[in-house]
Structure 1
Amino acid sequence: MTVPMHHAGDQLVRQIQAQSAYDDVKKSAGVAFALWFFLGMLGAHRFYIGHKGVGIAMLLTFGGFGFWALIDAFFIPGAVREVNASKKRSIFAQFGMPVLTA
């Protein structure tokens, strides 16, 4: 069975719209690391990736007296990947599109 050309075009448009919407909200590991480096003791990187509760806890404890902030350096890449994957699934679902993984 062949897909009508207008249907394939509609899917392509939705794919592009979904990707554009995702690109507008995805988080950058580079920005997260910069925030961690300069304001990690205050939890700025946690606020940036959307972990507000943990960010508040870090703010109140001054980054777990520095230890928590230091340990976070190893978890930033995974946290950013996780947040971005969640955002992508949500946005693509809104457009009725499957998430294509590499």
Structure 2
Amino acid sequence: MNRHSYSTELYAIVGSLPEASRPGFISAFQASEKNPVLLYGFNIWLGFLGIDRFLVGDILAGVLKLITFGGFGLWQIIDCFLIGGRARQKNIEQARRLRESFINRASPPSAPPAPASSELPAPPAS
């Protein structure tokens, strides 16, 4: 996922929220956001240990990179190109989950249905 489509999708998610929920959403999203530049740095520095993949939430890929020392260096080089997009993809998934929780929080509970009357209407007077 490139930066332009990431930004467009994120603006659309924020725009779909009620105005009152946006500051809370932005605060919660920023607290859980994965920074692609930081993950790129971890890939360069400790990519052979799979730290970048662990941080983005890809546990299996992290373990595989760990036991193969970054795919003998090859996987580490490939991840220089892929880890930023993977971080953005995880951020969008997180933003969608947060949006659903904020929408569910903001919507008022529905009114319970009116109870059915057990009495039959009175017959017309003759």
Q: In the aligned structure 2, how far is the partner of 1:88 from the partner of 1:32? A: 18
TM-score (norm 2): 0.66
Q: In the aligned structure 2, how far is the partner of 1:31 from the partner of 1:78? A: 13
Deviations 1:5-63 (A, max 9, x none): xxxxxx32311111111110000011101100110111111011111110011001111
Residue 74 (structure 1) aligned to one of 78, 81, 95:
81
Q: In the aligned structure 1, how far is the partner of 2:45 from the partner of 2:38? A: 11
Residue 13 (structure 1) aligned to one of 8, 12, 20:
20
Stretches of structure 1 that go unaligned for 5 or more consecutive residues are 1-10, 98-102
- Give % identity: 32
Stretches of structure 2 that go unaligned for 5 or more consecutive residues are 1-17, 105-126
Partner of 2:97: 90
1:77 is displaced (CA, Å) by 1.7
Q: In the aligned structure 1, how far is the partner of 2:83 from the partner of 2:64? A: 17
4+ residue runs of structure 1 moved beyond 3 angstroms? Answer: none
Residue 57 (structure 2) aligned to one of 20, 42, 50:
50
Tell me if structure 1 keeps the 8 A contact 2:48–2:65: yes
Which protein is bigger by CA-based radius of gyration?
2
Partner of 1:63: 70
CA RMSD in angstroms comes to: 1.2
